[in-house]
Structure 1
């Protein structure tokens, strides 16, 4: 069967875009740094006639980030560190001179001051500038040059950041969120299919590991959302992207909670398999036959509940990659899936025990379940943290 050329081209374009998405922020940073460095050199040498013009592009390169807001924030942190370090170096040189003891004290004070001033990645600037000032022949001139390079760098970097087109950080955040939605939907769908098979108990360990891995990947999504928030600041058209970014931030928090709940489901299924031949938290009661319940089966109907939830997550992935708000028909589709999942859930829950309808039974069961989990975590013999007990 011959594949149309348009389809091949579309697939190729989509693949290229997918590979470039993760690194486009780095490419934007390189472009901004190069333009800012060249312009900073010209301003420092031709307009300001600086004796140390090379410090201006150096400051611009070190301060340049992918967004103008992040560039300004880092540059201001550099300026504060350089100013404080300049004063510290001059004071140390004038009072106790330049020697091993004074350098040790200056670095000690400078590093602590950088941490106290919350300079972030620029916390070393105080100590670094102070030591360089102490070793310079003309301390005042060197300190003034370092201040000048930072001022030129922050102004040029911020202006370049505002002038050049902003990277599509919001699009990247949506794509990362959609990817994680699909992966979590795939896991739930696989569990739903697996529960219908005889050997489902042997697969629960892998389900637990995958659920934990997906929870860790939320850090990537959170970072993408933070970068998108920085990217729209100080931009005239940034407010147009705010509604979508607010939706993505809220969806990220929602998926975080869902991830914890998926981990709980997979761990619960794992516990039902009675690893080591005994149920968790009853290891030490192995000879108390009345305390050992019969081997449990997976709740009947749970596969249908998980399948419906997987369908919801898969549909939400398509919502996250669109710029516009979800259309009414999309919300209707999600509401229908939710209704199906809720119906299946109630049938499954009430099928296990009529007492599920009593909230006091649920509260008591939840308290005892948390206590049982703590007993299992602290078991030094076959608990999950044996290495912690030597």
Structure 2
């Protein structure tokens, strides 16, 4: 087993998560320490200004330096890590156009922390014809297998729903012998999750989030806006499929005329409605949906999902996992897979024609 540190900075732009995991790139041997480094208001503003930008944009170097420095600061707290999985900060994602862009250099990070860094996980998948996202489903499969072994889950299909800036769902069968088999995983981005709600709070109330979902709970969703949103052709596309953070910018425009509580309630309903719409693309039923990411702390989001999905929706903590650190742990696990030449994506998760071992390995010297 290798002691790996995974690091993740999501599209919600709140900060960097880092978490240790012991793994051989297949089995999970155990979980370790974790930490979070918040972005200051000024740092979040730098990253927000760079959203949608490609490598040649003048704002990107400053954003990339911020990403590298913030990750290096956090990585130095984990001297026990033998390798670091570094996702970087997604600024733009257009797999059928210019590709995918995660700001931050693994080469520079490896030099700064004097340890090997595995990074650029998405580009090879896109080059081979995949969507480049979502990348966490193979790890969700490993988590389900681990939870079955711990007695926390039955040996049957289950769905993981990650509510970050964008939502994504992974249907996994832990009885399959490997995650890249077609029978093991199906995954796709469901729609916007926390990003439009966080943006609304910044724009209207100068807050970073709707804490606990209190504002959304007090509002009423606009059903006309919701119906127009769910008529978007993305929801009629079969899986696998992926989204850019700002692909549904029209939704933010549509709620601008609403009172802020009603706007928040509409955005929560849009998130839940998009997940409910996506359930049709799962290969067969599952007993429950396990929620990770910041959205599981939002009471309004969890209530809407329980209502709209019609099956139990629970935080991943109910099966012994850490929903705040799951994505960070995933990139530690994937770093070891890349070092071993094992695939991190495949036809049923990103639409790539064959399993793909993406990622680059950079050494300190």
TM-score (norm 2): 0.21
Task: Give the structure with the larger helix fraction.
Answer: 1
* Rg larger in structure: 1
Q: Which has the higher contact order (CA 8 A, sep 6+)?
A: 2
